[in-house]
Chains A and B, each alone.
Chain A
Amino acid sequence: MIKGLIAIFLASILTENYVLNKFLGICPFLGVSKKLDTATGMSVAVTVVMVIATAATWPIYTYVLQPSGLEYLQTIVFILIIAALVQMIEIILRKYIPSLYNALGIYLPLITTNCAVLGVTVLVIEKGQADASFGFVQAMVNAFGSGIGFLVAMVLFAGIRERIENNDIPKSLRGLPITLVAASLTAVSFLGFQGLVEGMLG
């Protein structure tokens, strides 16, 4: 069990990295990775929302939607819940933990429309459907791991962007194009993890 959870956790960082392998959450990956501190703040906020959103949506799906045969309402229900949740988190933070709000709050609104959050809630349901042993705990670990994977990708990429910031880049590539090429080379390095997690723990 523990081993399985570790495997899920590592896999969601290394082999199923949302950004570098699955193409989820690319907008913040490209947009908020210019500086290390904003990259970290955004990723922490994403991780928090991912975990809370999964904690809310998984039970609703398994105990409300699925028993009544309403699986098709997944998308609409999930997105409503996420949108409401994010707003609630923001408001609560602002009211009660202003320090945390100042650190993370500015990223929260951005997260509602982030593929990665909706993605994780949908994907863990999919996994649960495919594999009976994949339950709530696994889903939570997966969500948390995906958030951390997002953080890893963001932090690594922020380092690279800070490094190439003052580079003498050809004019027509400056800005977004070179950022994407850099992302491409970062993704290259993540190709090598295939099978690693299963090999270690499987």
Chain B
Amino acid sequence: MAKTPWQEFSKGLIKENPVLRLVLGTCATLALSTSANNAIGMGLATTFVLVGSNTTISLLRKVIPDRVRIPCYITLIAAFVTIVQMLIEAFSPDLKAALGIFLPLIVVNCIILGRAEMFANKNKVLPSILDALGMGAGFTAALLSMGIIRELLGSGTVFGLPVTAGFLDPIIIFLLPPGGFFVFGLLIAVANKLAERKGGAPAELGCCAGCPFSAACAGQSAQKEDEKEETAK
């Protein structure tokens, strides 16, 4: 089922959007969507790491033994994250302040390990890069749309430029954690609706699917146990 390069890239934008369809990397999504600027910063940083890790993992996919696959991936990812950290530190202290703790936490962003596990270690380098770019772009786009909504409603600005000043008071709750959860929930509902029209299933929390440990994953095994109980009845 070979895909054209464009398909490889574009699937991350809509159909398999990591945030809205696969629901990966929720923490960063919620925390850094208070403004459009933060969203773009985070999106680009993550894309960089994603491309780096996908490329190297795809290159090394035949070399890395299964037993230490995960530590190897994590090391690779952590290295790229650190590089991004250093670059941002060196060139944009403001962005560093804005991203804060979530910059090092890119390491554990499920998108990256998820793509490594689901894509890069099964595919050649070029598709892996395209996949990474697409996923990164999808992540950035989703973050940006959330960022724009929350910034617009919560501060009355977009990219820091006043928009609604004068006729609409900012509704600060959109900047606070409740607003983050709420906007995220509605966006997923909208994405579900759109996907439904195309015959897709509603989004489920994707961490499990993307997670290399999914076989042992709590959510799934707990669910399975439930089902078992039910059928046993």
Contacts and interface: CB of A to CB of B under 8 A. Distances in A.
A187 interface: yes
B203 A181 contact: no
A174 B113 CA distance: 28
Contacts of A23: 27, 30-31, 177, 180
Contacts of B181: 180-181, 183-184, 187
Nearest to B196: A172
Interface in B103-150: 104-105, 107-110, 113
B113 A173 contact: no
A82 B115 CA distance: 21
Interface residues of A, number: 57
Contact of A25 (B27, B81, B203): B27
Interface string B161-178: 000000000000100111
Contacts of A110: 211, 213, 216-219
Given A122-B104, A191-B178, A179 B70 contact: no
A38 B222 CA distance: 7
Contacts of B218: 28, 31-32, 38, 41-42, 106-107, 110
Given A20-B177, A23-B27, A126 B101 contact: yes
A147 to B, nearest CB: 16
Contacts of A129: none
B110 A27 contact: yes
A133 interface: no
A151 B213 CA distance: 22
Interface string A10-45: 000000000011111111101110110010011000
Interface stretch (B7-15, B35-43, B50-58, B71-79): B71-79
A32 B82 contact: no
Interface in A139-182: 172-181
Q: What band does the interface of chain B fall in when counting residues whose beta carbon is under 8 Å from A? A: 35 or more
Contact of B105 (A21, A30, A118, A191): A118
A132 interface: no
A113 B180 CA distance: 22
Contacts of A112: 70, 74, 108, 213
Contacts, number: 168
A73 interface: yes
Residue with the highest number of chain A CB atoms closer than 10 Å, among B86, B108, B113, B217: B108
A106 B101 CA distance: 28
Nearest to A173: B189
B98 interface: no
B216 A34 contact: no
Interface of B: 23, 26-27, 30-31, 70-71, 74-75, 78-79, 81-82, 85-86, 101, 104-105, 107-110, 113, 173, 176-182, 184-186, 188-189, 192-193, 202-205, 207-208, 211-213, 216-219, 221-223, 226
